Amino acid sequence: MRLDQFLRPDLTFKLDAVDACDRLLEMLSQRIANQVEGIDAEPLFTALQEREQRGVTSTPDGVAFPHAMLEGIEDSFIAAALVAGGVSMGRSEHPPCDVVFVLVGPANAAWEHVRILARLARICHTPGTLNHLRGSADASQLHERLLAEDARHV
């Protein structure tokens, strides 16, 4: 499975500092809703919050994978963001997350959802990848680098 079909340039962001996890999720939900037909910001934000309450999606590498499965959408997609200074996602033993991937998928596509998350995690765990992504000058370059990293993992 390749991620290029799920990554969109209009859902790739380089964000200024954000003071809290909920604020980040709200901001990303709004940006996603502005770009993806059929997505409403409020239900997405609620679904992402509920998922974080069940178990924080951050890693010890400063990456977060908030995700939601929603009724009424047909295709999965990934929003990717670099967050200046990072934001705490709720686990004190994890550093602030400055690389964030929001995965949204159809409620009836659990297996695809898991496969996408696994692919993202594998790519991020490859030595040098996170530094390469973090060095992106802007959202466009982040998108290009994500596609390049995905292509390297055949």
Render pLDDT for 64-123 as a digit per residue (tens, 0 to 9).
Answer: 999 999 999 999 999 999 999 999 997 778 899 999 999 999 999 999 999 999 999 999
The letter for the amino acid at 56 is V
Model pTM? 0.95
Alpha-carbon distances of 90 from 20, 43, 47, 53, rounded to whole Å: 9, 21, 16, 9
Q: Count of H helices and E strands in the chain?
A: 5, 5
**Structural domains in the chain?**
7-152 (3.40.930.10)
Q: Are 97 and 58 in contact (CB under 8 A)?
A: yes
Distance CA 84, CA 18 (A): 8
Ramachandran sector of residue 129 (left: φ over 0; alpha: ψ -120 to 50; beta: rest): alpha
Dump pLDDT digits (tens) for 117-140: 999 999 999 999 999 999 999 999
Distance CA 106, CA 110 (A): 8
